[in-house]
Chain A
Amino acid sequence: MLKAKHGILVIALMAILALAGCSKSDTITVGSKDYGENILLGEIFAQMIEANTDLKVNRKLNMGGTFVNFNAMRNKQVDVYPEYTGTALTATLEMDVINDPTESYNIVKDEYLRQFDIVWLEPLGFNNTYTLAVTPEIAEKYPMETFSDLAEFAPNLIFGAEHEFFDRQDGYDGLIEAYDLHFKGEPLKMVVALKYQAIGQGDMDITDAFSTDGQLRQFNLKVLEDDKGFFPPYHAAPIIRKATLDAHPEVGEVLNRLAGRLSDERMGELNYQADVEGRPTEEVAAEFLKAEGLI
């Protein structure tokens, strides 16, 4: 019987080792936030690294929100993930909104390097900004073009967003203050991906949307204009741990080949294919990279 007990102990030890995982130095961990576009970008990064370097990629995609990925990076659990300048500026660095894209990129780049030893690589070329979206029925019932127009009709509308939106400086609290919005009842909170379903089924009337979301086209949603410029520009770029970049400069070089390759329209189109048409992320990513001659 001692043998059986010993056996269990041995398996247990092996199990502990297996779980903790041996981190290899020639593996890059690519993370992403938990919604389609970011997952797609993470997959694009992963495929670029795999195809163009000798390094292996450990994918940790679909992993929570901004802060989860950011903290994972600071804890050295993630080496690279796709981030947006606006998010970095207001949500992470908690600085005031800057509307000039170049200025905000440079500030974010400097601060991340200085404070966190994280390097911002070249922007991918698109601005995926927060915006507000309503269904065509609502738009017809309450004619509005801008966020300011919204103030008049807000008390008739139920607002819903992902949990993160309610805890960011560039989020709910700031928005309703800037435009003096009073929505109907309590806002609904749900995971990112469910927002469009909720609005499509009429469980809520208005949501924060990401401007390149494929679902905007799918549900024919009307997007309102941020006339007072509350939301900063959100230009996407890969961000990478400085230590990783120093050890493997080829990763930076390879990912920078993506610079400027994704316009707003192109990103929106890719998102549509992945989220609305339901094509596998790996396929959409691979097709894009091949079309661009990058792999």
Chain B
Amino acid sequence: MKTKQILNLGLLLSAATLFSPAGFASDVMTFPGTICHASDPSQAAKITRSVAGAQNSSSTGAVTVNCPLVRDNHSNVTGTDVVHVAVYRSASATSSLQCTLSSRTSDGGAVAAHTLFFSGTGSSTLHLDVNSSSLGGYYVVSCSLPQFSAVRSIYLDEPL
């Protein structure tokens, strides 16, 4: 009987922890890939921006795109919780698809960055995060897109 009571108490505490407000203390925003622009203006014509995101439509080489993220919480210094970048890499790509999440100061200075590569084919999600940010600073995702590869969307999860 006593064991059953302890077990019930444990279950209750677990449920309280799972559903407590602290468990949901984050702020999520999603962005379409079409917000991404070519870093180099001379390469802009190679980027097709559509409802399906930003795609390198050329067959000649990789193009770097920058995707600005709207930072809702601009007063924390602990960076992001997680940033998921949904990408697509074509079978005809000759280099890896690479994305970097950058945390920067309001005057453009580098604070922190996290880079991931995808060398497979088809759709994938890159899970990025930075553990440092500055007051009033901003986040940018930069991706190097090989031939016929794309950024579909970006999911930003910030601590509140």
A interacts with B = no
Task: Name B's A-contacting residues (CB within 8 A).
Answer: none
